[in-house]
Amino acid sequence: MSTPSRKDRLTRDEVAHLAHLARLAVTDEELDLFAGQLGAVLDAVAQVGGADVADVPPTTHAVPMTNVFREDVARPSLPREAVLAGAPAAEDGRIRVPRILGEEA
Amino acid sequence: MSDLTTTDAAELGRLLSGGEVSAVEVTRSYLDRIEAEDDAIGAYLHVDGEAALRTAERVDAARAGGTATGPLAGIPLALKDVVVTEGVPTTSGSKILEGWRPPYDATLAARLKNAGTVLLGKTNMDEFAMGSSTENSAYRVTRNPWDHDRIPGGSSGGSSAAVAGGLAPWAIGTDTGGSIRQPAAVTGLVGHKPTYGSVSRYGLIAFSSSLDQAGPMTRTVLDAALLHEAIAGHDPLDSTSIASPVPVLAEAARRGAEGGLSGLRVGVVTELGGEGHTDGYDEGVLARVAEAVALLESLGAEVRHVSCPAFDLALPAYYLIAPSEASSNLARFDGVRYGLRVGDDGDRDLDEVMALTREQGFGPEVKRRIILGTYALSSGYYDAYYGQAQKVRTLITRDFTSAWDDVDVLVSPTSPTVAWPVGARVDDPIAMYAADLCTLPASLAGVPAISVPCGLSEGLPVGFQIMAPALADDRCYKVAAALEAAQDAARGSRFLDQLTARPAGSAA
């Protein structure tokens, strides 16, 4: 495992790619701003690479815990009207979603 | 009778139980003050006076009718807007949830409702709890009651400003990397981050799930203990909830306020403002903290210096782990099931609508953290960033574990500086993140930590942090109460009385 060097600053294109992966339609101005700011943040957080962690296990939980189980019992869910009232668009007792398939699909 | 809006919550509870004041009177005095002063302070995002008075009337009627009411019944309360409340607008400080009225209550909101507390409103916060000044709120700026030109801390800055400013007797905050303790410190409050898993996260809008904890923000240590006891305890709806009895905290606070600290071993953390680690710390903050340590010693505590070398890496580890978890948690804001939806014109597909919704709905800090987290989790970088940070987290926990061999509690400043001027750090994420320097180790290790006022620097409050082993929250309360009692005795008044005594909005 190698620690990315500090020269691996995030480029504008990389930020655009990451924003796309995260479904953020960022503007050109944001790309300029974020590339610089995130570069500085990455420089700061890259310090973790200097820690000697040979044979150190990662922490997954702050407090030791094993799997948590419960009985598989059906419980009432939230009333449909209450849930639909919070949805951005509803139709025929269901949440209406934007188009999910392309024209040619 | 003294002003109800400067009375601490325990005393309000006593007055209410004794029938000396009614819940309606107490609630009305807070609502009046909110009406008069919140335009200037900006603590609240939502206040429903009519609903609050209706709740208060019910409590008064129950009390008059002899129906059993608990010790908290009738005491008003403010909740940080990250706490989901049934039928009451909940935004987490974000435009993406503007206007959303949740269909259910968070466990802690339900517990406080059942205890008969009166919800005054929901308090402002940095969007999705990401920030240390509350300036990342999508809605409004919140001012520090000690000096209106300064920040109230964050992310629970609405809660801190409300309680310090007399707009709520106490409030709930949440703490992921210091968001209860730092705002409490810079506004002169007591703020406690409980042991991870001891307060249910069910119904808290998630930021970083392995770190998020809710806790009390109050005017006194005893108030914090009482509020903490009311929200603590196992919750089957939160799979990380610890199945152990609710700790006895108010009693620990009372004992601490009465007795000495002989036999208590206190460790002063070198890496948090100690020798060779003073860069970025205000001299006044370090002086007040040193005085507090001397005061603990005079109460019988045995003080030693403890080195926790991995704490130096807490900030970089946190700013990898928290954004990584956030980038995953915030994927739920997809414009489909709740909240904002942008650009759904029948022509754009789901991906485009989602990207436009998130672009318009999220503010810059949230976007920065989502992008950073996406990067840290991405193939090829995961091991070097997220994986490495989780290993550093283990080193931090080990430093705590070895410290507990020698000391009962660890102490430090809560934050390196006093409240800074509004706007001073908004364009510099790294400077903003530095406010969390001292609070991050306890967050990453999941151990409890309290901030208690320890004096003023430049006329502004300084916080003293006390950290304890997991599930030993009572130690935080005991030591904090001892410190508070000794300082109050020396001063001849409570810490916040200094604020009440000065003209509004001006620093000394």
Interior angle at CA B286, CA B191 and CA B491, nearest 5: 65
Check A101 against B102: CB less than 8 A apart: no
Residues B410/B322, Cβ–Cβ less than 8 Å: no
**Prediction ipTM score:** 0.91
Q: Taking the CB of residue A12, how many other CB atoms lie within 10 A of it?
A: 13
* Interface check A40 vs B, CB under 8 A: yes
Check A44 against B378: CB less than 8 A apart: no
Check A58 against B358: CB less than 8 A apart: no
Check B429 against A78: CB less than 8 A apart: no
CA distance B446 to chain A (A): 5
Tokens of B6: 């400067």
Residues B260 and B302: their CA atoms lie apart, in Å, by 12
pLDDT confidence bin for A100, thresholds 50/70/90: confident
Write the residue in B344, B351, B395 that is nearest to A23 by C-beta: B351
Write the residue in A21, A26, A99 that is nearest to B374 by C-beta: A21
Q: What contacts A38, CB < 8 A, 6 or more positions away?
A: A10, A15, B368, B371, B372, B375
Residues A15 and B186: their CA atoms lie apart, in Å, by 35
Tokens of B135: 């300036």
Question: Residue ranges per domain, chain B?
Answer: 4-270+406-500
Check B319 against A44: CB less than 8 A apart: yes
Q: Which of B133, B137, B159, B179 is catalytic?
A: B179
Query: Tell me, what's the pLDDT at B247?
Result: 81
How many residues can be counted in chain A? 105
| Residues on chain B touching A15 (C-beta within 8 angstroms) | 371
Query: Tell me, what's the pLDDT at A62?
Result: 75
Cis preceding-peptide flag for B379 (omega within 30 of 0): no
Residues B216 and B450: their CA atoms lie apart, in Å, by 10
pLDDT confidence bin for A68, thresholds 50/70/90: confident
Nearest residue on chain A to B433, alpha-carbon basis: A41
Write the residue in B349, B378, B397 that is nearest to A59 by C-beta: B397
Is residue B29 part of the annotated active site? The answer reads no
Buried-state track A21-47, b at ≥16 Cβ within 10 A, e below 16 = ebbbbbeeebbebbbebbbebbebbbb
Q: Taking the CB of residue B276, how many other CB atoms lie within 10 A of it?
A: 7
Tokens 């010790």, residue?
B71
| Residues on chain B touching A12 (C-beta within 8 angstroms) | none
Residues A4 and B385: their CA atoms lie apart, in Å, by 9
Nearest residue on chain A to B444, alpha-carbon basis: A62
Check B446 against A63: CB less than 8 A apart: yes
Mean pLDDT for chain A?
Answer: 87
Beta bridge partners of B80: B123
Q: Which of B137, B155, B198, B415 is catalytic?
A: B155
Q: Identify the CA nearest to B280 among candidates B157, B174, B428.
A: B428
Check B430 against A27: CB less than 8 A apart: no
What's the whole-model pTM score? 0.96
* Interface check A105 vs B, CB under 8 A: no
Q: How many CB pairs under 8 A join A and B?
A: 200
Check B336 against A44: CB less than 8 A apart: no
Check A87 against B242: CB less than 8 A apart: no
Residues B171/B163, Cβ–Cβ less than 8 Å: yes
CA distance A78 to chain B (A): 7
Query: Which residue segments constitute the domains of chain A, with CATH numbers given?
Result: 12-50 (1.10.20)
Helix (H) or strand (E) holding B467: strand B460-467
Rounded mean pLDDT, A26-42: 94
* Residue B245: alpha-carbon gap to chain centroid: 23
With a cut of 50, which residues of chain B have pLDDT below it? 1, 508
CA distance A82 to chain B (A): 6
Nearest residue on chain B to A23, alpha-carbon basis: B355
SS3 B504: coil
* Interface check A54 vs B, CB under 8 A: no
What CATH number does the domain located at B4-270+406-500 have? Answer: 3.90.1300.10
Q: Would you say residue A2 has pLDDT above 60?
A: no
* Interface check A97 vs B, CB under 8 A: yes
Write the residue in B195, B375, B388 that is nearest to A53 by C-beta: B388
Check A58 against B393: CB less than 8 A apart: yes
Is residue B179 part of the annotated active site? The answer reads yes
Write the residue in B242, B320, B370 that is nearest to A22 by C-beta: B370
Helices (H), B129-238: 157-164, 181-187, 221-231
* Interface check A98 vs B, CB under 8 A: yes
Check A33 against B349: CB less than 8 A apart: no
